[in-house]
A and B are shown apart, each in its own frame.
Chain A
Amino acid sequence: MYKYDPIDQQIVNERVAQYRDQTRRYLAGELTDEEYRPLRLQNGLYIQRHAPMLRIAVPYGLISSKQMRKLGDIAKKYDRGYGHFSTRQNLQLNWPKLEDTPDILAELATVEMHAIQTSGNCIRNITTDQFAGIAPDEIIDPRAIAEIMRQWSTFHPEFALLPRKFKIAVSGTEKDRAIVQAHDIGLEFFKDAQEQMAIKVWVGGGLGRTPILGTVIREHLEWQHVLSYCEAVIRVYNIHGRRDNAYKARIKILVKALGIEEFKRQVEEEWAHLKDGPLTITQNELDRVAKYFEPMPYKTLPAHDASFDAAVASNPAFAAWVKRCVQPHRVPGYRAVTLSLKPHGKAPGDITSEQMHVVADLADAYSFGELRSSHEQNLILADVQVSDLFAVWEKARAAGLATPNIGLLTDIICCPGGDFCSLANAKSIPIAEAIQMQFDNLDYLYEIGDLELNISGCMNACGHHHVGHIGILGVDKDGSEWYQVTVGGKQGNDASIGSVIGPSFSAEEMPGVVQRLIEVYVRERQDEERFIDTVRRLGVAPFKAHVYAEKETA
């Protein structure tokens, strides 16, 4: 993974000093709440219901064992001994003290970490596929460009105060796992006819209050121009994006208002001035950064391991875990392991300090000392030898990190919701926990098969509910918490936004509602059809009919 040189280190050190002084001035009354707000936000600090929340950047989801231990120690020293992995692959602390945040940042800086631009109206953490570099279907490893873009976007002097937040995702695989279509800019890397690295550029996607999938603004962009092109896009947005209404300020609204053709015309006009200028990435710089993402020193291994095969054959619990939590790897004899942060009945994405140390130890022992976080809020050991899988499983299971539910109904994506977040209309974690307990039967979960259930506590959609096969959105009706249900959302190349099935439900009704949606699926599915396939084939009507029929007779 990328390692800081003295320039990177100086920037985070100077940031700590800058932020320490800003916080000092705020606490001394020299800065108003309104003036301090964008400053703290651009350092990941929210003022929440109970305490501030600090969001720590995990650039494109890559984290070392050393960093993970430091996060565990910070969570113990400054918080309540746990953290929460978010859908932007970052780590959130729910209970730090505002006065402590400069010290936390100083500790993070010692392990090449920061909280820069994890919130606020600026370019946010760039996200990607958690299997980048090892996925069998990967065409281009996008991480070097992602790192170059991270540096470019860090304290960008022109884009420090955009109309609204700006999210970029990169992906270099056949099967999109980074939801590039749901981002302000989505960069899809591919090899063009000349075998050169090229990028398909999507713009104007986003979830939130007005969910819109992105549109292709450029089919083919040479990688050298990715910074100048993004700069042109964001410049047009910075000038013309709405600032009078925060709900209409995302770039997607501007793209819709102008139409993609006119928006593209303005971008191309701007780009003509920037193209081939100093922003053009040199081969030298790409090579410098790319060397940090070279393949690990893999051993030459046989594709099969007899002891592993025997363990799968004789141990059903291990076999179930292998089926759900072990993913393919491009190198023979290696696999990726997803450590589930979704044990039934616990807040999705939460991890204790002790668990952080366990996963760091696992990474050191079995996976070259590195981990990844996924936007599905799990952790990944990307490079595990097949012969080590049983040992990894035993240790992960002992630490509560081996629930064999990856990709199943209980692998719920969920925002912190009304328990923590001051923006939320409704709680989300208790809903996730109740659904997990309703389906706390692995055989039944396997019978249901692949299903993505996403929950957001408000229309800001941190829980990506619009692209869940089943999406749940917390809404406020006359001061009480209700939940609106969508079906048919999907992430990936054929992404779609879910359709609302009807009037919303109370919290108590939710496990039953999900149960009834599943009943329709089990009744109607054909052959190997997944839940999403059945919804796409039949539409919303039969689901709606069953859910509300039950409701009326109840």
Chain B
Amino acid sequence: MSQLIQLAADGQASIVADAWTRVVPPAAGEESVRKQAGKVVLFKLTGEQTYTAEQIANTEIPATGKILVPLTIWQARKAELQSRLAAGELGIILATNETAEALQAEFPDLNTLPLIAVFVERFADGRIFTLGNWLRTRFGFKNELRAIGDVLRDQLFFHKRAGFNSFLIRADRSAEDALASLNDFSQPYQGGVADVPVWRRVNRA
């Protein structure tokens, strides 16, 4: 069963097969676990390195089919990926500690990408919402915007309103169950990426 929920142009949600293969770098040789005041640090800060040079070099990239590649891999190995981009077989993964500006520096017209995925390592990392919003409103991205990683049903309504139109539900959870959460609220107060504040939407007088 696929874990991928996709919104059609009319907003209708359905579970669909995932045509994309996610390129995952190998685990780092020595994962350094940072600690602060006895607590393990759980979040990468903005601008912090995502993968080491060694990981990037050792990443295996499938020779055919649609591939979803981390931005850092693209940056380091774009020569060998150019043809895939031209063929419409390349999507990019942006991590929440990476910036939309860095993505645009690589792809001045983001719409050359059929798919951008934002990877959220931990569901509580709300940067994904601002990134989604920016990609849609500031950078004019019109194609598929996908939330991947620690994606759970209780955040889906926010993801949707922040501009995401596909959601890869975490592997151990039911995408079928998650569908219901996309409709938690029927008339939200504030605007989202696709709508205006309620007082511009309906007559409340």
Please give the residue numbers on chain A whose beta carbons come within 8 Å of chain B beta carbons, in ascending order: 5, 7, 10-11, 14-15, 18, 22, 31, 35, 38-39, 121, 151-163, 227, 235, 238-240, 242-245, 247, 273, 278-279, 282, 284-285, 288
Contacts and interface: CB of A to CB of B under 8 A. Distances in A.
Given A243-B45, A285-B199, A278 B125 contact: no
Contacts of A284: 199, 205
A245 B184 CA distance: 31
Given A7-B204, A278-B200, 11 more contacts: A10-B187, A22-B154, A121-B124, A151-B190, A156-B190, A157-B158, A159-B126, A238-B126, A238-B130, A239-B127, A244-B42
A31 B47 CA distance: 32
A238 B134 CA distance: 12
Interface in B160-205: 160-162, 181, 184-192, 196-200, 202, 204-205
Given A151-B189, A152-B190, A159-B129, A273 B138 contact: yes
A476 to B, nearest CB: 14
B202 to A, nearest CB: 7
B152 A282 contact: no
Nearest to B99: A239
B129 A238 contact: yes
B141 to A, nearest CB: 15
Main secondary structure of the interface of B (DSSP, over half): loop
B99 to A, nearest CB: 8
A242 B34 CA distance: 15
A16 to B, nearest CB: 11
B186 A14 contact: yes
17 contacts: A14-B186, A35-B154, A153-B190, A154-B190, A157-B161, A158-B130, A158-B162, A161-B126, A162-B126, A235-B130, A239-B46, A244-B34, A244-B45, A273-B138, A278-B196, A279-B197, A288-B199
A161 B188 contact: no
Q: How large is the interface on B (under 10, 10 to 19, 20 to 34, 35 or more residues)?
A: 35 or more
Contacts of B43: 243-244
B32 interface: no
Contacts of B205: 284, 288
B157 interface: yes
A189 B160 CA distance: 35
A242 B191 contact: no
Nearest to A291: B205
B187 A11 contact: yes
B126 A244 contact: no
B29 to A, nearest CB: 22
Contacts of B123: 35, 161
* Most A C-beta atoms less than 10 A away, residue of B43, B44, B127: B127
Which 10 A-B residue pairs are closest in the complex by CB-CB distance?
A: A161-B126, A157-B161, A243-B43, A151-B189, A278-B196, A285-B199, A158-B129, A157-B158, A244-B41, A160-B158
Contacts of B190: 151-157
A22 B43 CA distance: 25
A35 B151 CA distance: 11
B37 interface: yes
A6 B133 CA distance: 28
